Chain A
Amino acid sequence: MTALDISIEQIWAWLGEVADPEIPVISIVDLGIVRDVRLMDDACLVTITPTYSGCPAMQVIAASVSDALHAHGIEHVRIESRLSPAWTTDWMSEAGKAALKGYGIAPPVQQAIDISGLHAGIRRRAAPAVNCPNCGSPHTQLTSEFGSTPCKALYKCLDCREPFDYFKCH
């Protein structure tokens, strides 16, 4: 079987079943990591982009993509990494955001930092108001700008008292 027999849509659907290795409830497609899929002769070219430049999951993600496509009978898979345009949480799908929330991680609440703006992001207390993913309360507080992975910050809910992860706008 060669890749020629398969539609691009089918490949996107298969990649939509590949989970992010660090947050397994969201797929790499919903996360916006897969940027392009192409069929070339008998090979499939998948372009992915790192969420953060030091993201240690990139190699695992590349291997997962190859494994998934091999399992569906595509023999030749090429993975390319693309840096520009830089990944942004704006590319995260609504389904992905809902899955994060169901998992207990508050999804990004606003459009990504506008770096062409007036450097608003570097001001103290620039962290946004985030609703608690457990009880929905808007009374939450930032505990730390950094959480268990580079893409998350730590918050706590002042009503249900639960600590939670917030997926930062990026």
Chain B
Amino acid sequence: MDAKIQYLLRQGDNAMILSQQLCQLVGKGPALEEDMALSNVALDLLGQTRMWLGYAGELEGKGRDEDRLAFLRDAIEYRNCLLVEQPNGSYADTLTRQFLFDTWHYFLLDGLTRSSDERIRGIALKSVKEVTYHLRRSGDLMVRLGDGSEKSHAMMQTALDELWMYSGEMFLYDEIDQAMVEQSVAPASELLRQQSLDHMADIFQEATLTMPSPDAWMQRGGKQGRHSEHLGFILAEMQFLQRAYPESSW
């Protein structure tokens, strides 16, 4: 499969799996405002998914549209990073996962606004505006809960320590990412990583949280289709209707 199609699937799958995870919290948020924020972020990510997968399907040219790509691929064909498939857990886990993702996502999209691919540039310019709000919110909550009560601080630090090993995969470029850099489609890993780590460090400091080492060992494999056990359960729920009633539609 063409490197660019794979790259597009990675972006679409990241947005879709995180959106699906956040949708599970709709109606269960700890406060009304948070409930609405979660569903708004999920909606933005779902819209972005449609743009990425729609483009991937067109480039592939085998008649797979965004819906077929979403509902008829199994876990091994999914290309999202491991971070987004980690469980919602406590709200500290949900927020920390979001902040780690938002930070990388924002700087990636910022880089993609200068992509050599016009269509990718258009999607990135649209998405980065939305993700600016996502990151502002998740960063704010990291600080408020990290620098909150003794209990909230402890929960945030634990969540950060446990999720940190999933924060590095996005910056580990393989031959597909590298091909995109060489074609000036995607931004280089080093700059993206530095920008992200700098922003994280600022927020963690204000949040009185101890930042784990950026050089710690990192989990990897999601981008190549080697997933944790969590993804299967997410897809089982998300794809149920199409699997049980093939080709059903509105």
Residues of A at the B interface (CB closer than 8 Å) are: 50, 52-56, 83-87, 112-113, 115, 119, 121-127, 143-148, 150, 154, 168, 170
Contacts and interface: CB of A to CB of B under 8 A. Distances in A.
B131 to A, nearest CB: 9
22 contacts: A50-B126, A53-B51, A54-B43, A54-B44, A84-B118, A84-B121, A86-B125, A86-B126, A86-B129, A113-B132, A115-B132, A119-B199, A122-B106, A122-B199, A124-B140, A124-B206, A144-B36, A145-B136, A146-B33, A146-B41, A146-B133, A168-B133
Contacts of A50: 47, 126
A52 B33 contact: no
Contact of A126 (B44, B129, B136): B136
Interface of B: 33-34, 36-37, 40-41, 43-48, 50-51, 106, 110, 113, 118, 121-123, 125-130, 132-133, 135-137, 139-140, 143, 199, 203, 206
A108 to B, nearest CB: 13
B26 to A, nearest CB: 13
B126 A54 contact: no
Contact of B113 (A56, A115, A148): A115
B205 to A, nearest CB: 12
Contact of A54 (B37, B46, B123, B125): B46
B202 to A, nearest CB: 9
A146 B45 CA distance: 14
A126 B132 CA distance: 10
Given A145-B136, A145-B137, A150-B44, A115 B110 contact: yes
A121 B102 CA distance: 13
B133 A115 contact: no
Contacts of A122: 106, 132, 135-136, 139, 199
B137 A146 contact: yes
A125 B37 CA distance: 16
Nearest to A169: B129
B148 to A, nearest CB: 14
Given A53-B44, A146-B41, A84 B125 contact: yes
